[in-house]
Amino acid sequence: MSIRLFLVVFATLSTSGCDLLGPSCVSRQDVGPVTVITGEVAPGQLVVHQVPYGTQGSQNDARLAWVGQSSPFGPRLRAYATRVACIDFRPPPANTGVCAILASAGWFEAGIASTLTVTHGRGNPEVLGSPPEYKIWLVNDSEQSARYTIDITYFFGPDC
């Protein structure tokens, strides 16, 4: 094998992220639990949960699931994240100031977005306060109650 071919192969393997000569992209990620919330929201109602921000990560991912979410005639839940100071939340489009939506998930005409991602980064207390926390508002736009689970984890590292 020529030196040139060897250098090309070496350069390819060392930058491919295949963990052959160094840590892979996935191995540099850190994911862990923050909290799990369960509850029920009545038809046409709104519930709110104040949650801590997992500061070990640069983002928190809140995975929303509810009973009947895959049914075409099931409950239609939407989740919205706001700052903690929001006390008079109204579903979009009328949200500004402390009630401005930081992230959303749930049932939409185009389908279900199951993850609500709140970014705060390490060392940005002006966004979510100190200690960092936020509110998740659940809106039930259907005529039936919905039992739900929100599993919140933190994430830190490169996107692979």
| Residue, of 93 and 60, whose pLDDT is higher | 60
Lowest mean pLDDT among 134-138, 145-149, 152-156: 152-156
Residue 104 domain-assigned? yes
- Average model confidence (pLDDT) across the chain: 84
List 62's β-bridge partners, or say none. 116, 152
Q: Within a 13 Å sphere around the CA of 40, how many CA atoms are in the beta-carbon half?
A: 6
List 106's β-bridge partners, or say none. 78, 113
Residue 45 CB neighbour total at 10 angstroms: 12
**Nearest to 85, CA basis, from 37, 35, 126, 141:** 126
**Nearest to 150, CA basis, from 26, 37, 40, 33:** 37
When divided into structural domains, the chain yields a total of 1
CATH number of the domain residue 146 falls in: 2.60.120.380
Residue span of the structural domain in which 42 resides: 28-156
Residue 18 domain-assigned? no
Grouping H, G, I as helix, E, B as strand and the rest as coil, residue 85 is coil
Residue 4 domain-assigned? no
pTM of the model: 0.79
Residue 58 domain-assigned? yes
Residue 68 domain-assigned? yes
DSSP state of 20: S
Residue 107 confidence (pLDDT) above 60 = yes
Residue 67 domain-assigned? yes
Mean pLDDT, residues 147-158: 91
**Nearest to 50, CA basis, from 77, 81, 95:** 81
Residue 12 domain-assigned? no
Interval 6-31: pLDDT, tens: 555 555 555 545 555 556 776 777 77
Residue 149 domain-assigned? yes
Mean pLDDT, residues 47-54: 94
